[in-house]
Amino acid sequence: MTLDSGEVVEGDAVVIAMGPWSILASLWLKLPAVYGYKGHSIVFETAQDIAPEALFLEYREAGGEVLTPELFVRADGTTWVCAISSTGSLPVDPADVVPDDGAHARLEAMVRDIAPVLAAMPIRARQACFRPVTDDGLPLIGAVPGADGVYVATGHSVWGMLNAPATGEAMAELILDGAAHHVDLTPFAPSRLRPLDPARLRRA
């Protein structure tokens, strides 16, 4: 593989696993589209004052929109809260990801309503990120059609961290042994979806 710098990196296999930025590989590979779905979150400094539990809720804003907030109390003394997603454009540089206007204010208002004790605690971070999704909602895991030694592992949406160990094991088996033994990768085969036309990506 040749990098933009001209450096050549040798290897037996290449795995495309860049989250939503995996779509950039569609410029030279027959890959289905991977889209970016933007999420917003706030991290509170909660120390050990909150029980170590996760909450999955439904919440109706004053304007009528129904959100599905998730609250995760972490072992490091923080609590992570998310709820607001959007389909904004994916920047080429991940450093250029910015939150939607008003998204964190909406999150803070929601937390004040559902968890006043949490809302009174210091905020460590206000964040935005893009999650990778596909046309049918399933990940792309497997060999890339028409490209020997090239594989893809992305499109897990919000479950990337949870599914990463199983995906990693399956990819290792596929690359080393020619087949995954512990996970049936058939439903996730990249060939199940139509490849993205590179011209669409260049226009974007």
Cα dihedral 3, 9, 12, 13 sign:
negative
Kindly report the CATH number assigned to the domain that includes residue 167: 3.50.50.60
pLDDT tens sequence across 110-163? 999 999 999 999 999 999 999 999 999 999 999 999 999 999 999 999 888 889
Instruction: Answer whether residue 202 shows pLDDT above 80.
Output: no
Percent of the chain beyond pLDDT 70? Answer: 98
Mean pLDDT of the chain: 92
Asked if residue 128 and residue 104 are part of one domain, the reply reads yes
- Picking from 80, 81, 72, the residue whose alpha carbon sits closest to that of residue 51 is 72
Q: Which domain holds residue 40?
A: 36-132
User: Is 3 inside a domain boundary?
Assistant: no
Exposed / middle / buried, residue 103 (Cβ in 10 Å: 0-12, 13-18, 19+): buried
Asked if residue 118 and residue 43 are part of one domain, the reply reads yes
**pTM for the complete prediction?**
0.85
